[in-house]
Structure 1
Amino acid sequence: MTEAIEQASDATDARPIKLACRNVWKLFGSNAANFIRERDGKASMAEVSAAGLVGAVRAVDLEIRQGEIFIIMGLSGSGKSTLVRCMSRLVEPTHGKVEFEGKDLLKISDAALIELRRHRMGMVFQNFALLPHLNVLDNIAFPLSIQGQDRTRREARAREVIELVGLRGREHFYPRELSGGQQQRVGIARSLATKPEIWFLDEPFSALDPLIRREMQDELMRLQTMLHKTIVFITHDFDEAIRLADRIAIMKDGQVIQIGTPEELVVNPATDYVAEFTRDVDRAKVISARSLMRSCDGAEHGGTVAPEAKISSFSASIVAAGKPFAVINGTGIPIGEVTPQAVIDLLAGIERAGA
């Protein structure tokens, strides 16, 4: 059975683990729970198929850290939406553990799960699911009414998030009077109204036009800068993923194939499938100076860059200077250099030896 390959970058992340999956399975079919339990949580794809079962999620192990944007990617049918629903128990896993702050969600009571969803989890889906008979203010305040908050308190909170997502002046508009992007902002505001600690977003922008989609990506990053939520985000668009992600998990046939930063997935794909998935990515937007640098050879430098600076951010400058740029650490000490030719080769799609 293929095991997910996780890059070493996560080992240096000191943030606490907010959510984890431990050998999570979701099988559809007769006697699925008995099948995987009898095999102690281990089964090949062939065994699953031979038993007449469908392996929507298979042997998933991952950890999501507090405050990170963790993106789950895969083609249609890869299991990404089912996995996220297992994380919140909207779908019951067949086997394994889903841990929220170290507590197994599969063992808590229904009442405790409802309380957790109401107060500590937020969810946004591709379908905006706005209530057509309620205006913007009431749509956003709706989950607070479910919590039992009085009108004054819930409307005050709704107005706060309306301001946050840039909808001031549209409080009394109905969903039919809003554009697609505005409707999605209402959905985002509604999910933020309860001040969730973890935020599940299942392809929230995929139904939007490209320009509005980019605007909403920018909006998400702006909100994250202010709120520092733990975000689990599903997409099938790698360009969207590299704009938003701290780390990405790539799924295929219900399994997580590889977990890493966008740069790690592009530079060191674990399988041919991952390599194909990232093949058309603009590498200059993903690869950093650290990955492209070599040892300093004593030549005069035409500028300096930080190790994490993406090549696209300084490619024009280094080519115009015609001299290497020094890669400097936090104390200003050079740790290597990037040459103009290395940048030109990257932009031209020429692989360097050892790259």
Structure 2
Amino acid sequence: MYIPNCGYLKVSPGISPTSADMWINNQSSLHDFILLGFSDRPWLETPFFVIFLVAYIFSLFGNISIILVSCLDPQLDSPMYFFVSNLSFLDLCYTTSTVPEMLVNLRGAEKIISYGGCVAQLYIFLALGSTESILLAIMAFDRYAAICKPLRYPVIMNQRRCIHMAAGTWISGFANSVVQSTLTVVAPRCGQRVLDHFFCEVPALLKLACIDTGVNETELNVLGASLLLVPLTLILGTYVFIAQAVMRIRSAESRWKAFNTCASHLLVVSLFYFTAISMYVQPPSSYSRDRGKVMALFYGIVTPTLNPFIYTLRNKDVKAALRRSLTKEFWIKTR
């Protein structure tokens, strides 16, 4: 690993971030953080740079396409696609908050992020993750209303209520981030600045604290359970009622369409909650650096990249809307 003004430091898997801190020269900013990333396995940096860059490009393309199609195509003017476009916008911001900095660090010798950049990344990344947890539960309720209460669906999910629900998810997510991130930021680190991670995240930052983090761990588990386990429980309960309603549908085509729509949402739910719970509903003292890195890469890059393709490839309405949009664009250009 390269330490500014100090040269290269070889970091083996056995060296902890605390030990690496002793190698940092006083000439570098005391407020910067050193992101180790793959510094202990430098041969992985180039292939992962290519993988992350391709994934980020696909994430941008997929999420922007869904947002544009949902907004411009009148046939997708429904609560379901309103929330899907919200999810795509969220995933777009999610990857942008971390991936560009990761790409810079993977190709550069200096694995540095400024204190301000780290704090901003921490607040934004946690806020977006919290928002997504609640938004997925709202999307499950939308499917419940559409399948179990079809006649009252336009009344239950009217435009005003959808806007209020979407706004509530964003406000709740950012409010949770303010609490968790603030408690993490104010914890004294006693000069420890080497973060054994790819980006600034609560469990990794708490590992740098030089005080008892019992209060932080309790707060993290309580809020993590509230924002992850409670929505997940509501989603699973909702799908019990949805499954019962789907089984009562006589038309095989209608039953398959309902199942297909719900399957896309359930797949997104599984990808998100499995990794998020494994990270945030556990004591940071039991945080494994290698496991934490893998989980972070999964829900920070893989899941937001796959989400738009899960909804697109499994949804005939979205694929038809994309074809209509491309066809219109083609004829406009040929005129």
**TM-score between both structures, scaled by the size of structure 1:** 0.25
Higher RCO (CA < 8 A, seq sep 6+): 2
More helix by share: 2
Instruction: Write 1 or 2 for the structure with the bigger share of strand.
Output: 1
